[in-house]
Amino acid sequence: MDPGGPKTTDSANKLQVENLRSRGLGPVSFELRGGECMCVSGESGAGKSLLLRALADLDPYQGRVMLDGVACASFAATEWRKRVGLLVPESAWWADRVGAHFTTVDDTLLVDVGLGPEVADWSVARLSSGERQRLALVRLLCNQPGVLLLDEPTANLDPKNVERVEALVARQQREHGTAVLWVSHDPAQVERVSSRQLRLTGGRLEGWTAS
């Protein structure tokens, strides 16, 4: 699998981060190109989730975050979060039925994660943790984000579904030029999905690795 994939135009979905600081994080600077997948690793509490939250504009921060050269503050907050989509490990479900959480459902995405269109009628209480995690990814992808921030997206999944999710993300990179920032604790997965790695220690960027 080559998740780096053929490049779309160089500027589309480019995320630039300059001197990003929030509480317990930073300064962090890096650049993520469209179609590229970079993994973020580091111990628990190293600031991986804080970094992703700041990038999704959920926490206040100092520094600059830009998408295709346009500063985050120039986007409406709702628009930014649709373009820079964050997937958290424990997805939230607020309505009783699965379908109520979607504005539009792309059925092919459901099939890609091993589910079908009938899940829209399922009750959320019945979902397994793995189904929740896969559905949360589909729900996020329905917004067609240009940048995906994935916080341990395969933590609750069996090997078959890990494969499905990895393939789905790779296809987003290839077909839509989606940029991906992927937090993973699994060295083999990091090796499989990413072309570069970012290591965080104590909220600071410790190093780059190109694999």
- Where would I find the H helices in 45-118? 48-55, 77-83, 107-112
User: 3-state class of 19 per DSSP?
Assistant: strand
What are the structure tokens assigned to 27, written together? Answer: 């300064």
CA atoms within 13 A on the CB side of 87: 29
Q: Which is nearer to another protein, 139 or 176 (CB)?
A: 139
Q: Which is nearer to another protein, 76 or 188 (CB)?
A: 76
Nearest approach, Cβ of residue 6 and another protein (Å): 28
Nearest approach, Cβ of residue 188 and another protein (Å): 28
Nearest approach, Cβ of residue 186 and another protein (Å): 24
CB 24 within 8 A of CB 47: yes
Q: Which is nearer to another protein, 91 or 197 (CB)?
A: 91
- Applying CB under 8 A, the residues found at the interface with another protein are 56-60, 73, 77-79, 81-82, 85-86, 88, 90-94, 139-140, 143
Nearest approach, Cβ of residue 7 and another protein (Å): 27
Residue count of the chain, please give it: 211
Nearest approach, Cβ of residue 185 and another protein (Å): 21
Q: Which is nearer to another protein, 58 or 66 (CB)?
A: 58
Q: Which is nearer to another protein, 19 or 143 (CB)?
A: 143
Q: Which is nearer to another protein, 88 or 113 (CB)?
A: 88
Nearest approach, Cβ of residue 60 and another protein (Å): 7
What are the structure tokens assigned to 43, written together? Answer: 């111990």
- In what side-by-side order are the strands of the sheet with 196-201? 84-87, 147-151, 179-183, 37-41, 196-201, 204-210
Buried b vs exposed e over 61-93: b needs ≥16 C-beta within 10 Å?
A: bebebbbeeeebeebeeeebbebbbbbbbebeb
